[in-house]
Every structure is written in structure tokens, then in C-alpha cells.
Chain A
Amino acid sequence: MTSGQDLRPDPPPDHARAETYLRMLAEAELRRIQALPRPDPLAEIGVPAPLRGPVRLALPLGQRAVTAVQPLAENAAQALQPLAENAARTVRPLAKDAARNLQPLADAASRTVQPLTSQLAATVLPVAEETARKLNPLFWRAAGQVQDQLRTWRRQAFQVTAPLSRPYRAVTGRPPERAELSPVAGVRRLGGVAHSLALVGEIDPGTAEAVMAGVETALLARSRLPPHLLWIRARSARRQQQARPPAGVYLAAPVGALVVNEPGSGVQHAHLVTMVIAPDRALLTLAGWVAEPEDRPLHRDPWPVFGRPSAATARDDRGNSYALRDDSGWSSGDEWNSTMRLSPLPPAGIRWLELTMSPGSAPIHVDLAGTSGAAAVTLQPGGAPAERLIEAVALDLLYAATDAGGDGAPSHDLSQVAGIVTAFEATGAIEPARDAVGRLVTLADRIGADVPPVLRAAAVPHDLPAEWASVLENSHRLDGPRGMTAAAAVLPEIDGTRFVLAGLRSDQSGAKLFALAWGSHRMFSLPDYPGFSPWSWSARDDQGRWHVLGRGAYSGSDDHAELQLCLKPPLHPRATSLEVILSGPSGQVSATVPLDWRE
């Protein structure tokens, strides 16, 4: 007896095949997670059941906070003690004077008191502000120390485990077994597959989102996931609503002026690099060198280079006046970067701006007419989305290899991409990406990274592309030029996102490209899941040297982001132009910018 029905799902006409695969994967993940032991340390220490939920939620945050804050607090207490004493010494006589002055006036009319209190405020406020200015960098320095320590520990852990991996593999023929994935890690792995299937168009993004929301809610309902993950998801979904960059004209104009900073600003030189005018904001990017180089990141946000509040102003060819206010700022080592915001937003069509950075200083002319940034901005269709996604993974790996400086294999886990390639195999999306998988495997072999068998099986053998070979060959070079240049370019809108290049600084070991982005935060923030960024950046200088770019500093809101992209290996010392190439889900855009270095 047969019913004549195939037990496998029908070949679907649309996205149903990938959706079925993803939902079945979600079911398997749910079963896997439910089979994991459920530790409940709170019960073991006798926390009453009704309190365990809130305590579970608060405990990790509290533990992390305590761990992070304790050394900071100790350092801060030591550092702040003299400041506090100084502030107290400064304020105490003022307070005594004020008290002496105010006492006889207390019986007088309020109009007499008012100017005196104003005078008191005017005296005390600068002291308070100065104190705040001193405290702010101390705080960021402490935070930087924590970050550095974490990086050091991670690097040390990798240096310990990486050498063990190869002998183990040589003996056993397989890489060391990984510990069972935690529920959170399992959901992230599943999300990586969902995210990737959506990126390559195999499944509707909303459906992928719904599947993930379902499995996360199911795990929450079984106390297998902390509720804040769903809160983050809901928040993220809400933010995704603002999806497109504002319509209108985008300008990026080189400024190229060196200005003298306010004494005590902590900045040695400040270059006004690029003026960017977008439909919703106008930003001036600045870069320079820290007066007393720090060996740790020194975040100041904003960095009041031109006084606080900034006295910088601007005017345009139509007679409109503007204020320039600090917007953001940060430093690393001896490098300093900042943005200032022009307010109000200039109208479309202005031809030039004159910037006056401090009262009495010479105005700096910025030509906006006919400026679209650099020459030769191009938009090209790319290969299949799956191919581009695997290429992006490979560029990530390539960047990791250059960032490691060739000291052994980079710490790069390809098991996630193995899961994605398996999904592509199952849904029929792999074919256009087989060459790319082949290139990825060749690269991984070349740099000594572990290659999961499923990747090797899916790969068509392929040579290492010449561009990647160039990157690897030059990864040890320390011959980059030192300086900064405008690198101003407005890239065409791609995949609902607009990028504007707004400055490039270079030193002997590499370069940093500053970019502004508009669109959905989903597109430029780190992905929710360890899938992959939808973007990959590469570059080629006119001396034939290829480069890959990885993301460095980042600051973003719902619909705008400022990114610093780290370029490796260093630019050729004689390079005079650089083609910057951005690959996104639907294609590739590029711009060639001149390299007109200023120290």
C-alpha cells in the first residue's frame, strides 16, 4: 500500500525550500538546547524561586559591572583624590566668601541677591567644568585600560591554544573538539544561517526574522535564553524601520587646512580634512596628532579642540552664518580624530564656505561647487549574492591574516561559514559560490587556518587570487607614507545605504579610512548574528599594491554611522592615488581618490 506521496518536502517554486530548511534547523537547535543540562546556581545557593528571574537577569550584568568597575574604581579613586582635594580647596573659599556676602543680603530684596548668585555661579562653574574636563579623559583612559587588558588576554589565550591545535590535528586527523555550544551561541549560529540565507535572497528577510523570533521566544518560554536577547531583538527590529538614507544631495569637499589649536587642548596639529554636507547634517572631519602620545586609546567624545563651547564659525556665499560644534572625537596612540557639526544645516546649492576656527584667525575657504568628491566613482553589478557573501568571509579572513602580521594562523573560526555553506547546499544556493568557496579554502590553507570538511567538500579547487596574494606578500611591510589626506568621495547608494569617504590617514604600518554612512543601522552596525557584515572593503593603490580593510572605530545611531576602516598592508610609499572598492549584497561601488599627503 502506498499513498504515492514523497516524504521529502516538495521542490518549492519560491522561498519555501530555504524556509523549510531554516525552520527544521530551528527545531533541531531547540531540541539540542533542551538536551543541555540546565544549571541553576541560584537554586543551589537557596535563592527563593520568585526572586530567581530578576536575579538571573541582574546577576550577569552585576558581575560584569563589578569585575570591570572594581579596578577602575580603585584607579579612579587614586587618580581623583588630588583633583577632589584641589576642587574642594578651590571651592571652599568661594563658598565662604559667598556665605559672608550673602548673609547680610539675605534680608534684602531678591533683586540684590540675583546678581551675586550669578556671579557665584560664574565663578564656580568654570572650576566645575575644568574638573569635568579632567575627569572625562581619566574615565576613558580607565576604560581603555580595561579594553586593552581584554585584548591582551584574548591574544594570550590564542597564543596558548593555537600551537596546540596543529599537533592535535596531526595526531588525530581532526581539529580539537569544541565544547557544546551554549544556548546563546547556538541561537547566534542559527541566526547566522538565517541572516545569510536572507542576504543571498534565498529567503525573505522578514520570514528569516520571524523564524528567529519564534525560536528565541520558544527558548525564552523554556528559560533557556535570557529575556534581554528578545528585548534587543525587538529594539533592533524597531530600529530597522528607518531603512533608507535621506534623499537629496551629498557633497564631500576636501578642506586641507592646518590650524592652530587652543592651548591645552592636548592636540599637536589639527587638520581640517573634509567637509561633508548631506541632506540631514553637515560634518567637518578633523585629524591630527596628540601632543603627548598615549600608549592607550584616549577617548574624548567630543574633543574640545577649539574651546568649549567651540567658538568656530562659518559663513557661505549667500551670507548665511553657521556655528561649528564638537560632535565626536577619539584617539589611539598618537593619532587623534574628530568631527564637528555645522549648524544650522546649509541650504542646497551653496558654492563655498569660509570656516573661522577661532576668533580673529584667518578664514579657511572650502570650495563646494562641482564637488562630488573624488574622480571616477563607479557602480558595478557583482556576482551572485552567495558568491559575494563567501568572498566577504574570505576578505575577513585575509584581513585577520594581515592583522596577525603573519605570526601564525589568525584566530578565525570557519565553523560558522561551514554551517552557512551547508545551508546553501541544502537550498540550492551554493552553485554560484563554489569557486568562491574554493578560493576561501585555498586562502585558509595558505595561512594555516582550520578548514571544516564541509567547506572542503563544497569547494571547487581554485588558485589564490592575485589580489589576495599581493596582500599576503606585503603584509609584513612597514613602508607606508605618514600623513593625512581628504580622500573625499561620495559613493553611489547601494543596498539602501550611502557611504561617503571623508579622510584617510596613513603611517608606516597601515592606514585608516574614515567613512560616514546613512541608511539602516542594520547595514552598518555589527550583525545580530555572527553571519557576516553585508559589506567588504578592499583597495588598490596606483603602485599595484592591494589592500583589505577591516572595521576599526565605530559610532552609530539608528540611521547614521561614522566608521574608521583599517587598511592593511600599508600603502605603497610612492602611491599617488587609491581606488577604494566597496562590495555589498547587490554589487560593487568604487571611487579613486588622490593621495595628497599632509603631515
Chain B
Amino acid sequence: MSSTQQPTAASGPWWALLPPAQASVSCGGHTHRLRWSEGRLSALDHPDAEGERVLAALGGDRSECLDLVESWGALGDDLEVLAVGPRSAADKLTLDPAEIALLRDGGMGRPPAHGSALGYAPLRAGGALPRLLRSRLMPHQGRRARPGRFRSGARTSHTIRAFPRQAAGKPERDADRRGGLLAALALGAEFQFRLSATVAAAWSDGGSRAGDAAARRPALVAALSGRVAPAAAAWLGIGPDLVDAVPHEGAGWGRLEPSGTGGDGRLGVALPVGWLASVWAAGLAVTDRHLIVAVTEAAWPDATVLGVPEPGADAVTLNVRNVDGSWVRQPGAAQ
């Protein structure tokens, strides 16, 4: 079945069904708060973020909070977020700061600057990676020698760098980016889904990277398949490898097409990339035994959605409400 004659448009912005989220992070020896709301991450304990950035650019200390906000912004259209991030709510990321720290310098083989990896503070649930870990994951930021910092005695009149600064080639930039990605994902599951939604929204119709989507179609196909497949598998009780998904372009919500029978039965799915932001990231993918294919009205914690009860059937309209983190069909839902 498909959708060209059915309503599609999700009313409201892509984050309409993603409520604000907050995490505590260690920043300069203090516990600070990061808050995500309406598609943006902000550092609540750094009211003059712009001023701090200017100071940091002039050689002042950088803060973990602002580094994370900066990384978050840089990752907003990075498709590697979707390659690494969760595929479903059951897909738990277990980022271990000690293990990540031991990746040390992205293979550049320089010695640790701060002693043993065990010196890192353990990652709190919902907390950010501490500065030391960040310095290892992002050596070009974390280890930037600051003038005067390595002066050694009265007879030394020049500044010494702890490590010779290397020109940041692609591998180094990749290590930087990957470090920022893992640090952002380490903020916790709520943030992982919100970051994934941010990226999906950037590449969907009307997003900042929509014009480049054709060139990145393989990555978008994989991102969509990787998330539609477990949802559709849970919906139908088939193996996820039997689900073929592609991005839907054009009018309508997309298309579902069963093929084959019995154990060989496959399901073809075409959904817009925006489905990842508006439906999947909100945890709506399978609700009340329906595969949810679109959001038509959204006013947290209530939503009106289109759901397909079974392959071959038309999509129906459901009213749902989020109750304690789960979507529950509300009585009186319209067909």
C-alpha cells in the first residue's frame, strides 16, 4: 500500500514530539547542566557562552560544556551520527570512557598527557566525558599548548610545546570529529536520539542539507534501513534482514509493499528521511501494533499519527499520548 492520496505532513517542527532533555556534566571541576530543547543544545551554566568562546580563542581555558555544545552543533548534519547511533530503543550504547580513552590520540602514538587512563573520572549516567578524556579523543583541541604554560625555569625564555603540533590532516580531523561524536553520544540515550533526529531533519525535505541528499543517498538508505528494519521486524515478527527500505521522495508518506510468502516473505518500505526525526526518534515507530508512518498533529505529549495495522492495509489515523515514556493509543481515535 502507499500514500499519495493520504495526508502526510507532520504538523509542527520535527522536534515537536521530543520533549526537553537535560544532562549533568563535569565542567572545570563543577557539575554543570546541558539542556536540549526545541532542537538546540545549550549550556545552562554558561550564560555568556559567546564571551567565553572569544576568551578561549585568545588562549583562555575552554569549558567542557561549551566544547560539547560546539561539537553538537558540528555534528548536526554529520551522517556518521546515524551510522554509529542507536537503531532502536533496545539498542543500548555502552560507551566506556576508559576504553575510548585508550584509543589515545587516534593512533598518533603519542604518550598520554595525564597519566593513567584510570585517572579519568567515571562517567555518570547522563554525564559528559570529562576534559581529560576529551583531550585524548580530540588531541588538537585538548592538548593545544598555551603560551607560558610550559615555561621551565628562569633561564628558559621561550615557550615550549608539550608535543610538537602536527598539521591536522584528514586522519587527525576524523579523529577529532569521532571524538566529538562519541562524547556527544555519551550524554545518554535521550541525547543520542535527539542528535540522530537533528541529523535526519537536516537531510530531509526542507532541511539544511536536503539539496545534497541525492549525493548521500547510500548513507541515507542505510540510516533508514537500519532503523526501519528492526521496527518493521518487531511489527511483523519477521527477521530484519527481510526488510528493504529506501528513502521516499515526493508526495505522500511513502509505501509498504509485502512480497513473497511464508518464511521468504519480504517487506519493502519507502519512507521519507524525515520519518527518522519525527516518528522514530520520538519512539513512535511501532505503537499499538501499528507501524507509524507519519505524524499529522503534534502537541507534546499528544499526537495524531498515521499507522498501518498490517501489510497491505491502508494507514489509519490514531490519537496517541506519551505516558511515562511510552506512547499509548487514546480512546476516540479517528479512523
B174 and A7 contacting across the interface, CB-CB below 8 Å: no
A3 and B255 contacting across the interface, CB-CB below 8 Å: yes
In the bound complex, CA of A464 to CA of B154 (Å): 79
In the bound complex, CA of A440 to CA of B106 (Å): 40
Q: Within 8 Å CB of B218, what residues of A?
A: 9, 16, 19-20, 22-23
A235 and B250 contacting across the interface, CB-CB below 8 Å: no
Report if B210 contacts A (CB, 8 A).
no
B4 and A1 contacting across the interface, CB-CB below 8 Å: yes
B4 and A7 contacting across the interface, CB-CB below 8 Å: no
Chain-B contact segment, one of A131-139, A222-230, A309-317 = A222-230
B241 and A9 contacting across the interface, CB-CB below 8 Å: no
Given A9-B217, A218-B83, A231-B107: A54 in contact with B251 (beta carbons within 8 A): no
Q: What is the distance, in angstroms, from A56's C-beta to the closest C-beta of chain B?
A: 7
In the bound complex, CA of A54 to CA of B119 (Å): 11
Report if A111 contacts B (CB, 8 A).
no
A238 and B107 contacting across the interface, CB-CB below 8 Å: yes
B178 and A2 contacting across the interface, CB-CB below 8 Å: no
A27 and B222 contacting across the interface, CB-CB below 8 Å: yes
Report if A214 contacts B (CB, 8 A).
yes
Q: Within 8 Å CB of B142, what residues of A?
A: none
Q: What is the distance, in angstroms, from B174's C-beta to the closest C-beta of chain A?
A: 7
In the bound complex, CA of A213 to CA of B182 (Å): 13
Report if A50 contacts B (CB, 8 A).
yes
In the bound complex, CA of A56 to CA of B219 (Å): 32
Chain-A contact segment, one of B86-94, B289-297, B301-309, B320-328 = B86-94
In the bound complex, CA of A16 to CA of B221 (Å): 11
B117 and A23 contacting across the interface, CB-CB below 8 Å: no
Q: What is the distance, in angstroms, from A186's C-beta to the closest C-beta of chain B?
A: 14
A2 and B98 contacting across the interface, CB-CB below 8 Å: no
B92 and A222 contacting across the interface, CB-CB below 8 Å: yes
Given A8-B246, A19-B218, A218-B83: A231 in contact with B94 (beta carbons within 8 A): no
B94 and A222 contacting across the interface, CB-CB below 8 Å: yes
Chain-B contact segment, one of A28-36, A193-201, A330-338 = A28-36
A2 and B255 contacting across the interface, CB-CB below 8 Å: yes
B95 and A221 contacting across the interface, CB-CB below 8 Å: yes
B2, B171, B240, B255: the one contacting A241 at CB < 8 Å is B171
Report if A24 contacts B (CB, 8 A).
yes
Q: How many residues of B contact A (CB 8 A)?
A: 66
A53 and B185 contacting across the interface, CB-CB below 8 Å: no
B85, B219, B250: the one contacting A5 at CB < 8 Å is B250
- Tell me the nearest residue of chain A to B104, going by C-beta: A231
Given A220-B99, A232-B107: A7 in contact with B244 (beta carbons within 8 A): yes
Report if B226 contacts A (CB, 8 A).
yes
In the bound complex, CA of A231 to CA of B171 (Å): 11
- Tell me the nearest residue of chain B to A38, going by C-beta: B94
Contact with B along A352-379 (1 / 0, CB 8 A): 0000000000000000000000000000
A53 and B171 contacting across the interface, CB-CB below 8 Å: no
Q: What is the distance, in angstroms, from B269's C-beta to the closest C-beta of chain A?
A: 7
B222 and A20 contacting across the interface, CB-CB below 8 Å: yes
Q: Which one of A19, A51, A218, A228 has the greatest number of beta carbons of chain B within 10 Å?
A: A218
Q: Within 8 Å CB of A234, what residues of B?
A: 103, 106-108, 171, 174-175
Report if A215 contacts B (CB, 8 A).
yes
Report if A145 contacts B (CB, 8 A).
no
Q: What is the distance, in angstroms, from B280's C-beta to the closest C-beta of chain A?
A: 15
Report if A236 contacts B (CB, 8 A).
yes
A221 and B84 contacting across the interface, CB-CB below 8 Å: yes
Given A3-B250, A23-B218: A8 in contact with B244 (beta carbons within 8 A): yes
B99 and A53 contacting across the interface, CB-CB below 8 Å: yes
A237 and B107 contacting across the interface, CB-CB below 8 Å: yes
In the bound complex, CA of A227 to CA of B217 (Å): 29
- Tell me the nearest residue of chain A to B257, going by C-beta: A7
State which residues 226-259 of A face B: CB under 8 Å: 226-228, 230-238, 240-241
State which residues 227-242 of B face A: CB under 8 Å: 229-230, 240-241
A238 and B102 contacting across the interface, CB-CB below 8 Å: no
B99 and A56 contacting across the interface, CB-CB below 8 Å: yes
B103 and A3 contacting across the interface, CB-CB below 8 Å: no
A227 and B102 contacting across the interface, CB-CB below 8 Å: yes
A26 and B221 contacting across the interface, CB-CB below 8 Å: no
- Tell me the nearest residue of chain A to B178, going by C-beta: A217
A235 and B108 contacting across the interface, CB-CB below 8 Å: yes
Q: What is the distance, in angstroms, from A220's C-beta to the closest C-beta of chain B?
A: 7
A23, A31, A51, A210: the one contacting B241 at CB < 8 Å is A31
In the bound complex, CA of A49 to CA of B252 (Å): 49
Q: What is the distance, in angstroms, from B187's C-beta to the closest C-beta of chain A?
A: 13
The interface of chain A, by Cβ under 8 A from chain B, is 1-3, 5, 7-10, 12, 16, 19-20, 22-24, 26-28, 30-31, 34, 50-54, 56-57, 210-211, 213-215, 217-218, 220-223, 226-228, 230-238, 240-241
14 residue pairs bridging A and B, Cβ less than 8 Å apart: A3-B251, A5-B249, A9-B217, A19-B219, A27-B225, A54-B118, A213-B178, A214-B84, A215-B83, A222-B91, A223-B96, A234-B107, A238-B172, A241-B170
6 tightest A-B contacts by CB?
A: A235-B107, A234-B107, A214-B83, A23-B222, A7-B268, A53-B98
The interface of chain B, by Cβ under 8 A from chain A, is 1-6, 80, 83-85, 87, 91-100, 102-104, 106-109, 117-118, 122, 169-172, 174-175, 178, 181-182, 185, 217-219, 221-222, 225-226, 229-230, 240-241, 244, 246, 248-252, 254-255, 257, 268-270, 314
Known: A20-B217, A31-B87, A215-B83. 7 other contacts (CB 8 A): A3-B3, A5-B255, A23-B218, A24-B225, A31-B240, A53-B98, A221-B95
